[in-house]
Amino acid sequence: MNDTDSTLLSHFDTAAEGFSDRLSRLRAMPDTCWENATPCTEWNVRQLVNHMIQGSRIYTSLLRGGSSAEFMTNLDHEALDGDLVTTYRDAVAECRAAFHAVGALDQIVDYPFEPVPGRQLLGLYVVDAITHTWDLARAVQLDERLDAHTVRWILDNFPWIYHGVSESPLTDSNRYYGPPTEAPTSDTSQQGRLLHTMGRKP
């Protein structure tokens, strides 16, 4: 892991803002779009957005000393209160502040699938946010292009991001990640590689 912490934190911003951009565009779409199916087969758009809001809150809690038991208890709680764009942005702002706190990236947090340093937790957040940005874009037919620099960083750092993590796209577990899909020979893009690794069918 040779990236500076500043660069790593910038990937957080890029990933979070990419999701926020697609989410904000839902304001101009019919309300029925919230019920659209997503590539995460168990979630519609509303449930996907709930996951992203609650995920930011849970990561904030972990960085502030929260436990893995609290993580699992709160994972599926309903977080959709008020304007969803504002709610998401507020949750991300608080999470961002938690990652920027002095010592946050060096501390060991009680991540439920193996305790990890805050720095690695940040990498896990980036992968989740980037992948679900594509899920949201696909579900409501928005621009599916992901930030190329962040996609490349994820691919280059997959072994580090998921090192020692029991639930990951690099293990045989399919509890939280779909099994990798086979990319057609015509898809040689880095974004395609990432999405197929994460069990998507772009």
Residue 129 forms part of a structural domain: yes
User: CATH no. for residue 17?
Assistant: 1.20.120.450
Residue 72 forms part of a structural domain: yes
Q: Which residues of 31-65 are buried (b: 16+ CB within 10 A; e: fewer)?
A: eebbebebbbeebbbbbbbbbbbbbbbbbbbbbee
- Token digits for 107? 């501390």
**What DSSP state is assigned to residue 197?**
H
Measured distance CA(141)–CA(128) in Å, rounded: 20
Residue 62 forms part of a structural domain: yes
Domain of residue 91, residue span: 5-197
Measured distance CA(96)–CA(99) in Å, rounded: 5
Does the pLDDT value for residue 10 go beyond 90?
yes
**Stretch 27-55: mean pLDDT:** 93
Residue 91 forms part of a structural domain: yes
Residue 152 forms part of a structural domain: yes
**Stretch 5-20: mean pLDDT:** 96
Does the pLDDT value for residue 175 go beyond 70?
no
| Percent of residues, the chain, with pLDDT higher than 70 | 89
Residue 202 forms part of a structural domain: no
- Token digits for 19? 């999701």
Residue 170 forms part of a structural domain: yes
Residue 151 forms part of a structural domain: yes
Q: How many domains does the chain have?
A: 1
Q: Which pLDDT belongs to residue 179?
A: 66
Residues near 164 by Cβ (< 8 Å), separated by ≥ 6?
A: 114, 116
For 44-89, what is each residue's pLDDT tens digit? 999 999 999 999 999 999 999 998 888 777 777 777 777 889 999 9
